[in-house]
Amino acid sequence: MLANSEIEVSVSARNVRRLLSFQRYLRSSRFFRGITLPNSSNFLDDDYNGQAKCMLEKVGNWNFDIFLFDRLTNGNSLVTLTFHLFNLHGLIEHFQLDTMKLRRFLVMVQEDYHSQNPYHNAVHAADVTQAMHCYLKEPKLSQSLTPWDILVSLIAAAAHDLDHPGVNQPFLIKTNHYLATLYKNTSVLENHHWRSAVGLLRESGLFAHMSLETRQLMESQIGALILATDISRQNEYLSLFRTHLDKEDLCLEQENHRHLVLQMALKCADICNPCRTWELSKQWSEKVTEEFFHQGDVEKKYGLGVSPLCDRETETIANIQIGFITYLVEPLFAEWARFSNTKLSQTMLGHLGLNKASWKGVHREQSSSGDDTDPAFEEMDSDIVPQEH
């Protein structure tokens, strides 16, 4: 346990970081609002902001390059993209949101992601939020969703991995981390992400003008969405979704059915990396593997026993991705395509097939064993997966 003085220093440092980040964001965002100020040497270049604006005009395109967008926004991809989507969906006006409070909330969310994490950082959150926007635009959903549905979906997407420590649940359990104890070893990370998001919502006062009952409902529904991203419960959600599809009894006029579909949409958004173009997908694969291997290095250093998929001496990116795609991504997106058989779904499945073939090609070059999948997946502990620690 940290001493009180250490906790105070940590909290103080976090608050200073938030303030500096907010000031940095406001400086760069003045260009988006058409405001120019003297002595702008610290601001983003006009040309960069112009390019970022152009990208936002195509925020609903599946080939949206979140890495480029993050560079063009000076590391503010999550804040800038999510604020734009709130505006695009008419949420600011509909819910009478204070734009300064909204910006502050989004900056706090962005800052509470760990930038040192190769994968679970604010850029991943921005990528998931952009994917969620694409799914919300799909005909079946867009015709049925309420502004409330869109609001909770975007907040859940932006905050779904908030304050992620860069290690997985088994690591927290075997190191007796306080979060594992707090959440009784069950959906430890997802519960933490949700509770962290609730804390920031309350701190920001973004919805202070709403009734307590309304705010509590919002927090609960955001939680249900974030908890659905626990990959160890994928079969539970997938089976329920598949049953509804088999019976053809999904009725999106019913709130509980819409909410199930939104849970599935966020699950898809969270692990959609293999469904992106090879250029984008490959970058994500490298980043998540780097995070895995870093955990494995720590486990070796302290004699904890290396977790599956985390040993850089025995694992490869190709093997991990082939197993991930085969056992987790393909089953999920096959059912999503049954629900929403659109051009986007076919595009995602097309990229998925091509990327899997590409990783098999890499695997063949690296090894002549002919083993196309990682044994760790075939005997996969429900808590160990490559895209969501």
Domains (ranges, CATH) in the chain? 50-366 (1.10.1300.10)
Average pLDDT, the chain: 89
pLDDT-based confidence at residue 2 (cuts at 50, 70, 90): very low
Residue 353 has pLDDT above 80, yes or no: yes
Q: Which of 307, 345, 308, 353 is nearest to 326 (CA)?
A: 353
Cβ(138)–Cβ(342) below 8 Å = yes
As a whole number, mean pLDDT of residues 18-26 equals 57
Q: What is the dihedral of CA 9, 13, 14, 19, to 10 degrees?
A: 140
The pLDDT value given to residue 24: 53
The Cα 354–Cα 280 span in angstroms is 13
Could you tell me which residues come within 8 angstroms of residue 311 by beta carbon, excluding any fewer than 6 positions away?
293, 296
pLDDT at 17: 60
Across 343-369, average pLDDT? 94
| Dist CA 110 CA 142 (whole Å) | 27
- CA 241 centroid distance within chain: 21
- Residue 170's CB is within 10 A of a number of other CB atoms, namely 22
- Asked if residue 145 has pLDDT above 80, the reply is yes
pLDDT at position 39: 38
What's the CA gap between 384 and 169, in Å, rounded? 8
Quick check: 8 pLDDT over 70? no
pLDDT per residue as tens digits for the range 229-263 = 999 999 999 999 999 999 999 999 999 999 999 99
Least confident of 68-82, 133-147, 357-371: 357-371
Q: What pLDDT shows up at residue 172?
A: 98
Q: What is the phi-psi region of residue 114: left when phi exceeds 0, alpha when psi lies from -120 to 50, beta otherwise?
A: beta
Question: What does the alpha-carbon distance between residue 266 and residue 125 come to, in Å, rounded to a whole number?
Answer: 11
Amino acid at 247: K
**Alpha helices by DSSP H, 228-328:** 234-247, 255-270, 278-301, 317-324
Q: Which two tokens stand for residue 118?
A: 């190769």
| Alpha carbon 35 to chain centroid, angstroms | 31
Per-residue pLDDT for 308 more than 60? Answer: yes
Residue 26 has pLDDT above 90, yes or no: no
What's the Cα-to-Cα distance from 381 to each of 90, 109, 296, rounded to whole Å?
Answer: 42, 30, 16
Q: What pLDDT is recorded for position 1?
A: 45
Residue with tokens 């076919």: 346
Nearest CA among 379, 232, 386, 381 for reference residue 316: 386
Give the Cα separation of 189 and 27 in Å (integer): 33
- Give me 292's structure tokens: 């895995």
- The answer, yes or no, to whether residue 382 has pLDDT greater than 50, is no
pTM: 0.87
CB 25 within 8 A of CB 76: yes
Catalytic residue among 84, 120, 164, 351: 120
Lowest mean pLDDT among 30-44, 57-71, 128-142, 219-233: 30-44
Confidence of residue 322 (pLDDT cuts 50, 70, 90): very high
The percent of residues above 90 in pLDDT, for the chain, comes to 81
Active site residue 257: no
Which band of pLDDT confidence, cut at 50, 70 and 90, is reported for residue 49?
Answer: confident
Distances (CA, A) of 364 to 147, 245, 311, 318, 358: 49, 37, 20, 9, 10
Annotated binding site: 120-124, 160-161, 270, 321
Residue with tokens 């990682």: 374
**Per residue in 255-301, pLDDT tens?**
999 999 999 999 999 999 999 999 999 999 999 999 999 999 999 99
Rounded distance between C-alpha atoms, residue 261 and residue 264, angstroms:
5
Please compute the mean of the pLDDT values over residues 154-159 and round it to a whole number: 99
pLDDT at 48: 72
Task: Detail the residues annotated as belonging to a binding site for Zn(2+).
Answer: 124, 160-161, 270
Distance, CA of 134 to CA of 265 (rounded, Å): 10
Res 202: pLDDT:
98
CB 288 within 8 A of CB 272: no
d(CA 72, CA 79): 13
Which residue ranges are tagged as binding site for AMP? 120-124, 161, 270, 321
pLDDT-based confidence at 377, cuts 50/70/90?
A: low
Count how many Cα atoms sit within 13 Å of the Cα of residue 175 in the half-sphere of its side chain: 19
- Which of 365, 381, 134 is CA-nearest to residue 266? 134
Give the model confidence (pLDDT) of 182-224 as tens digits: 999 999 999 999 999 999 999 999 999 999 999 999 999 999 9
Nearest to 185 by CA among 175, 172, 195: 172
